[in-house]
Structure 1
Amino acid sequence: MGLFDFFKKKEKPEETKRNDVILAMPMFNNGEIVDFEKVTAYLKSNWNTAISDINEDGRAITFSIQGETAAIATMPVQIPFDDIKGTAQYAYNWTSAEKDLENHNSHAFVTIVSSNNSEVERFKILTKILSSIIATSNCLGIYQGSQSLLIPRKQYLSSAEELKSNQIPVDLWIYIGLRKGKDGNSAYTYGLTAFGKLEMEIINSKLALEELHSFLNNICAYVIESDVTFRSGETLGYTAEQKIRISKSSGQFVEGQTLKLEM
């Protein structure tokens, strides 16, 4: 019996509310702006995605894509650098982010508005649009403040390709925090609430940080893809013998209630 045989699926998660708008911000140097024609052409050629109802007006464009309304607006200014610095200090995937982005002088807002599609489908659409912007420009990377993510262009393009093999690009949607402490290693998620789930934390584990990251990455992929909701008092494990206890309590590294995985 495998790991996910121990998960219980619920029809409707009860912990968090749906986000009406999903937002991400590509960043540029040299006052670069998004070339809307190139982006829509790339969406059609690379992602085989139909675009309709295009409405372009100077520095902004809206269009319909897979049942969603998407908007891209270019801004000839820097994202407030205090926001970037606050996120960069935890961006272990982009250790030079603060230096690389200190002189960026333009960015874009990319938004997906609410529809009847699932959150997973909406994030897939966002990823396709962002990767199309990166591939057709000198975009430095992506800032997603709601998920506490800074993602450099090379990583984004590489991970976005996972969609083509029906995999979940967890690193583009969820931040997995890692902390060392005197009593053990800890890890936590930041971004699961966008999918209607509680964040997860592992506190003071004897496992290595790499193991904790891999474990949470796999758990997040499954939770997102299969719409699994954990409940306090349940257990999970890789084998029938392994039972990792799940409990709910106030978060240690993130606000609100979180699910603690005792391992």
Structure 2
Amino acid sequence: MLENGFVLLNSHEFDIHKLINDLKTDWGISAQVEQHQDSFILNIGDFLCAIALMPAPIPNGEAIQFAKGNYYCPNAVAAAEAHKAHLMVTVMNQAENSEVAGMSLYSKIVSGCLKQENATSVYTSGTVYTADFYQKVAKEYLPNNEIPIMIWVYVGLGQNEQGNQLYTSGMAKFGKDEMEILNSKINMGTLHASLSSMCSYIISSGLVLKDGETIGFSAEQKWAISHSKSVYAPSEFSLKIDIQ
């Protein structure tokens, strides 16, 4: 499996024919579909995709909880609270495909699902994005083969007496370590932009960062990298980027 996520619906309905038409119209994607009650298998090139209609909210208020951290979408919590059903969207590869190609297809399918009249948002990459935001970003970046980092990798933000704390959620699906910036006194906006840019560059270039190396965006910038137990990232270990 390359990726899976959950499109939140305000009613228990899903029009597979609309999705197939929207994929063709918006992205030029042709899909062969097999239906098994409320589940659908889509064969798209070398990828196998599954969409399952689930007649209930995501359990334990999970989507609502993770929606609270989305600083891009002020209405994310309200959208999550209103959902009554959801679509589980999964993309799997059947051949040697790149993670970027798989994620691009995943985002196009999710964007198509979000065009359903009862779709409000999507729970993916560690947070909840409203339908309009996710579709806008996908449409802006994917046609140009650019990395829509804000919908592929969530950058969590926090503060304590030691300074600003940031972590990534989503790098693992590209075969990369999650990253953290800890106890930094640098402005949060600068840190967020730097970490997001790093994620985008690492994904697009295939760069593998290792313990003891440095990274930066100019000859003057040399931020030390260390590999150790995660503090905030959703993984056992993470790369710490020393930006002070």
TM-score scaled by length of structure 1:
0.86
Distance in 2 separating the partners of 1:100 and 1:108: 15
- Is there any run of 5+ residues in structure 1 with no aligned partner, and where? 1-19
The CA deviation at 1:244 is 0.9
- Corresponding residue of 1:39: 19
- Corresponding residue of 1:121: 101
- Corresponding residue of 1:211: 190
Aligned match for 1:77, one of 42, 56, 78: 56
User: Is the counterpart of residue 152 in structure 1 residue 130 in structure 2?
Assistant: yes
Equivalent pair of 1:235/1:245 in contact (CA under 8 Å): yes
The CA deviation at 1:193 is 0.9
- Corresponding residue of 1:236: 215
The CA deviation at 1:30 is 3.1
The list of structure 1 runs, each at least 4 consecutive aligned residues, that deviate by more than 6 angstroms after superposition, is none
Q: Identity rate of aligned residues, in percent?
A: 32
- Is there any run of 5+ residues in structure 2 with no aligned partner, and where? none
The CA deviation at 1:120 is 1.2
Q: What secondary structure does 2:4 align onto? A: strand
- Corresponding residue of 2:169: 190
Aligned match for 1:138, one of 112, 115, 118: 118
Distance in 2 separating the partners of 1:100 and 1:123: 24
Q: What secondary structure does 2:114 align onto? A: helix
Distance in 1 separating the partners of 2:79 and 2:18: 25
Q: What secondary structure does 1:140 align onto? A: strand
The letter of the residue matching 2:10 is N
* Residue pairs, 1:152-171, within 5 angstroms: 152-161=130-139, 162-171=141-150
The CA deviation at 1:154 is 1.0
Equivalent pair of 1:149/1:174 in contact (CA under 8 Å): no
The letter of the residue matching 1:155 is F
- Corresponding residue of 2:4: 23
TM-score scaled by length of structure 2:
0.92
Q: Kindly indicate whether structure 1 or structure 2 has the higher relative contact order, using CA contacts under 8 Å at least 6 residues apart.
A: 1
Aligned match for 2:38, one of 55, 59, 64: 59
Q: Per-residue CA shift, 1:140-178, capped at 9, x if unaligned?
A: 10012xx31211111101111110111111121111011
- Corresponding residue of 1:12: none
- CA 1:195–1:96: 2 relative to 1, 3 Å: same
Distance in 2 separating the partners of 1:80 and 1:65: 30
The letter of the residue matching 1:29 is N
The CA deviation at 1:200 is 0.7
CA RMSD, Structure 1 to Structure 2 (Å):
1.6
Q: What secondary structure does 2:119 align onto? A: coil
Aligned residues: 240
The letter of the residue matching 1:148 is G
The letter of the residue matching 2:18 is K
